[in-house]
Structure 1
């Protein structure tokens, strides 16, 4: 039985808060550009770090089925909920809840990409992460029996496919294109784990950790500065691919430094948020809607210009904290009664083994 790594819980908790902040209208701000540079790469790197390949026998089918239960089943559960919730919101706000809306919504759910197309609607765009992670894990599980050069060749071929998709404005269903773009991040985490690249910093002096953080933050800054525009694995928007990978890895490295510094601080709240990242990923857009309407009500009382204070980085931080806190008790309940909604179907009670990925 592997011991749970507390700093990983911190990394996942900080990562999911960055996701909420990024979706809180921060994409067009400079700090939003920095957040988008590494907040999703962080989750793929963490997943690679925690990844346990399937045994070298005939258990690959069971491995795939396990990932179907932990990622694809929750995807459709939260996806159907999102269609119904969006229809209800449209009904009360005067929006579209026609038969056409439902047809496009369910078509979008089956198509599995995190954005709208001409014929489909994706009501909950962050759900793209679940099928993308499924493909990343299934591909990695299959390749685990091969040598590193085969894995490198597959990653390179995948990136070539992504470039062609981007050039000709095409996409693969079920976020498979996003999975190909994310695969190198996953392997970066696996390599860090295999060769113990973080062990010297986890067991070393604080000065060494501070230096790594400073270098990582500086490289992140250069990557974002040189790679003009926002990067987004969901839509395979990478601008300069080398800079995208550099920014994603360096930003994640900076977060890891902070989390390793916090390793001695244990919190039930952080553990719960870490266990519930899949649920938070799947529901936070509705939390943002609720909080945003609350802000608008306060701004209406404040008068003209009242919303200015809520379109800011501090407001994004507060919103992320409110949403994660609001989902704390649902996560605790699901850990005991409905682990499927946390992507933990068929697993032993949380907290006694290694921490799992969002999904």
Structure 2
């Protein structure tokens, strides 16, 4: 896979917009549940799709070092920034308790625990790191990894370092990685069949809504897969296919979309702080769909605008990307 794949940029841009939107208290809570059915599975799927076979051929130590630099270092740096900001807010509000509140928040953030500092869905970075390690091991020792992966699916993993999200995340990541050639062929076919793309996207996204109404929403970080986990995963895949179909239909070269796609790490980690600011200063935001949709887009564009400066002056925050 050479060069940028345009529909992937669109899928990442749409996905990150849904992530931001999903953290609002929306005028209709059902929409939030619908978004949660597939927005994070989409990111793991795309991450697997974009993982190159070449990177899996390097020595294990070098592979881990690169992935830690790109994923774990940004997690802790962004968490540190959010922790400092969190303490400033507590101090300003007179609620700073150095031994209880601060220590608890620090420990949870350091271990990516149950309630880390408000740093967006940064748990995604730890989960993605382990997905990469597992796929690397699978390529080297497939038989051993198949046994390990089957074990992961039936045991309760700890919440720390987002390990509890790994079985589900790894499923979407692995399908994206192993199926990339078929995905590319399917996307190329859909591109040439606009009507099919439109029908497929509408049908899939409607089916996800029906699935949500029937079984409830899936929330990976909350370890919530409804009473019908297999169906939750199926509807997540249907949602992913619907997004891909939609993105192949509308995908055209766009500097804005490409910039948003390149900025998803920053948006993931910082959008909740901008959301807090908007909640504080925009009256009755959650009762107005227009304001919600526009402000969510403004957050995405605003954080996209600062990403080039971060990449230029503080590249370590971007994992050296």
TM-score of the superposition, structure 2-length normalised? 0.91
In structure 1, distance between residues paired with 2:199 and 2:147: 33
Distance 1:214 1:24 in 2: 24
Match of residue 243 from structure 1: 231
Match in the other structure for 1:354: none
Residue in 2 that maps onto 1:299: none
Contact 1:273 1:331 in 2 (8 A): no
1:190 aligns to 2:177 (yes or no): yes
Deviation at 1:287, TM superposition (A): 0.6
- Pick the structure with more helix per residue: 2
Measured against aligned partners, the alpha-carbon deviations of 1:106-127 in whole angstroms (never above 9, x if no partner) come to: 21122212x33xxxx5443522
Report the Cα offset of residue 235 of structure 1: 1.8
Q: 1:132 to 1:194 in 2, by over 3 A?
A: same
> What's the RMSD between the two structures over aligned residues?
2.3
**SS in structure 1 of the partner of residue 273 of structure 2:** helix
Q: Structure 2: how far apart are the matches of 1:324 and 1:105?
A: 26
- Separation in 1 of the partners of 2:159 and 2:280? 35
Deviations 1:165-199 (A, max 9, x none): 5xxxxx24200111222111112212331334533
**How far off is 1:104 after superposition?**
1.3
**What is the aligned partner in structure 1 of residue 272 from structure 2?**
285
Partner of 1:136: 131
Q: CA–CA distance in 1 between the matches of 2:289 and 2:229?
A: 27
Partner Cα separation in structure 1 for residue 5 and residue 57 of structure 2: 28
Give CA deviations for 1:292-348 in whole Å, capped at 9, x if unaligned: 11213xxxxxxxxxx2x63344333212111112213211212333333233x1x5x
**How far is the alpha carbon of 1:201 from its aligned partner?**
3.2
Give distance in 1, aligned partners of 2:292 and 2:206.
23
User: C-alpha deviations, 1:130-178, integer Å up to 9, x for none?
Assistant: 111111111112212344x7665544322212xx45xxxxx24200111
Alignment of 1:85-234 (within 5 A): 85-113=85-113, 115-116=114-115, 122-124=117-119, 126-147=121-142, 153-161=147-155, 164=156, 171-196=158-183, 197-228=185-216, 230-234=217-221
Q: What corresponds to 1:322 in structure 2?
A: 298
Aligned to 2:263: 276
Which residues of structure 1 form unaligned runs of 5+?
166-170, 297-306, 348-359
Q: Residues of 1 paired with 2:145 and 2:11: CA distance?
A: 26
- Once residues 270 and 208 of structure 1 are traced to their aligned partners in structure 2, the CA distance between those partners, rounded to angstroms, is 24
Corresponding residue SS for 2:198: helix
Give TM-score scaled by structure 1 length: 0.82
Aligned equivalents of 1:137, 1:25: Cα separation in 2: 33
Gaps of 5+ in 2: none
Aligned residue pairs, count: 319
Find the aligned partners of 1:270 and 1:65 in 2 and give their Cα distance: 30
Relative distance call for 1:107 and 1:2 in structure 2 (3 A) is same
Could you report, residue by residue, the CA deviation over 1:49-97 in whole angstroms, capped at 9, with x for unpaired residues?
A: 1111356656121111101000100010011111110010111223235
Tell whether the 8 Å contact from 1:181 to 1:236 is kept in structure 2 after alignment.
Answer: no
Residue 101 of structure 1: CA displacement?
A: 2.6
Residues 155, 184 of structure 1: 8 Å contact kept: no
For 1:272 and 1:31, locate their aligned partners in 2 and report how far apart those are by CA, in whole Å. Answer: 26
2:244 to 248, 252, 256: 256
Distance 1:259 1:342, change over 3 A: farther
1:226/1:243 contact within 8 Å kept = no
